[in-house]
Amino acid sequence: MIITVTLNPAVDKVMVIKNFKAGSVNRASEIMVEAGGKGINVSKTISSLGGISKAFGILAGQGGSFIENSLDILKIEHEFLYVAGETRTNVKISDPINNIVTDINEPGPVVSKEVIEKLSQELFENMNKDDVLVLTGSTPQGVDKDIYKLWIETAKTAGIRCILDADGELLKNGIEAGPYLVKPNIHEIERLYQTQTKNMDEVIELAKRLLVKGTEMAAVSCGEKGAVFVTNSWVAVAEGIKTTVKSTVGAGDAMVAALSYGVHEKLEPEEMIKLAVACGTATVMIYGNQPSEADINSLKEQVNIIFLYK
């Protein structure tokens, strides 16, 4: 099974506002409210692919109940711990006129070390060596930035493969434990190594640095330019698919879902890469965070990959 962890879930509220202007009265033409948070988004896309996952995480208040009910409707297995406070609401303002998406993200509730310890216990009691553990997204207030590193180390001891998608200190600390696969986007990897890339060759060189501590694959998403995939045996550049971008919410999560599904199902590299790019592209074509199976299958045939063998 694929296990996803969302320490800082959210109710995602997407508002479509044409020609959005800050400091003015704006009226939404469309509104969509969905269960969100990166790990939850991963589980939702895995469901679209026909895979099975179990979502773990921390919830609070009415927003937490909304997320659980949403996952029940989608028939996604889940196990959450509740804390005091309220699950955050993240507002995404999509402006189709100016092709701009504005994110307003709340901080979420404070989580104690005792809750993290309990979640950790429940998490690893439910896993075996054939599972894939997906650690992704931000952490709530009160949680140490080495949490993913500690969980990756614990999982590796049990022979469990881990996929890491994080930013800042969570990414920096996490890669020290050598997760099986790391998937930053271009901005995250540039921040990690404090540099600016000018072309795909430079992106590839940065991605290779992610393999130093034992990571077997690094995938770097580069928006409309496509993505780079690096292992110790080969490098692949997947070109981006031209499409109309409605919202970027969940696009990176959809790629993580495809990669985790590919690792779990032992897909060939080419098939896994095509699936990852298709899932990411299918997500930006909609205002929600769960791409459709039909869109994914259609886009897979349009993915062009250039393999470079070492």
For residue 310, the model assigns a pLDDT of 52
The answer to whether residue 159 is domain-embedded is yes
In angstroms, rounded to a whole number, what is the distance separating the alpha carbons of residues 171 and 186? 13
Tokens of 254: 């959809």
From residue 77, give the alpha-carbon distance in Å to each of 43, 57, 69, 73, 156. 9, 12, 11, 10, 24
Give the domain range for residue 225.
Answer: 2-19+30-309
**φ, ψ (nearest 5 deg) of residue 17:** -125, 110
The answer to whether residue 25 is domain-embedded is no
The answer to whether residue 222 is domain-embedded is yes
Q: pLDDT (tens digit, 9 = 90+) per residue, 100-136?
A: 889 999 988 999 999 999 999 999 987 888 999 999 9
From residue 73, give the alpha-carbon distance in Å to each of 76, 224, 257, 287. 8, 33, 19, 19
Which residues, in sequence order, are bridge partners of residue 32?
A: 14
From residue 213, give the alpha-carbon distance in Å to each of 184, 208, 219. 16, 11, 15
The answer to whether residue 58 is domain-embedded is yes
Low-confidence ranges of the chain (pLDDT < 50): none
Q: What stretch of H or E contains 279?
A: helix 269-284
Supply the pTM of this predicted model. Answer: 0.93
The answer to whether residue 24 is domain-embedded is no
The answer to whether residue 95 is domain-embedded is yes
Q: pLDDT (tens digit, 9 = 90+) per residue, 157-179?
A: 999 999 999 999 999 999 999 99
Q: What stretch of H or E contains 294?
A: helix 293-300
In angstroms, rounded to a whole number, what is the distance separating the alpha carbons of residues 149 and 46? 24
**How many separate domains does the chain show?**
1
For 103-165, give the DSSP string: EEE----B--HHHHHHHHHHHHHT--TT-EEEEES---BT--TTHHHHHHHHHHHTT-EEEEE
Letter string b/e over residues 160-190, b meaning 16 or more CB atoms within 10 A of that residue's CB = bbbbbbbbeebbbbbbebbbbbbbbbbebbb
For residue 297, the model assigns a pLDDT of 87
**Which residues, 6 or more positions from 298, have their beta carbon under 8 angstroms from its beta carbon?**
none
For 239-269, give the DSSP string: EPPP---S--TTHHHHHHHHHHHHHHHT--H
For residue 99, the model assigns a pLDDT of 85
**Which residues, 6 or more positions from 27, have their beta carbon under 8 angstroms from its beta carbon?**
17
For the annotated catalytic residues, the residue numbers are: 253
Q: What is the CATH number of the domain that holds 218?
A: 3.40.1190.20
The answer to whether residue 210 is domain-embedded is yes
Cα 131 from chain centroid (whole Å): 18
**φ, ψ (nearest 5 deg) of residue 49:** -85, -5
For 59-80, give the DSSP string: E-HHHHHHHHHHHHHTT-EEEE
Angle CA(297)–CA(301)–CA(305) in degrees, nearest 5?
125
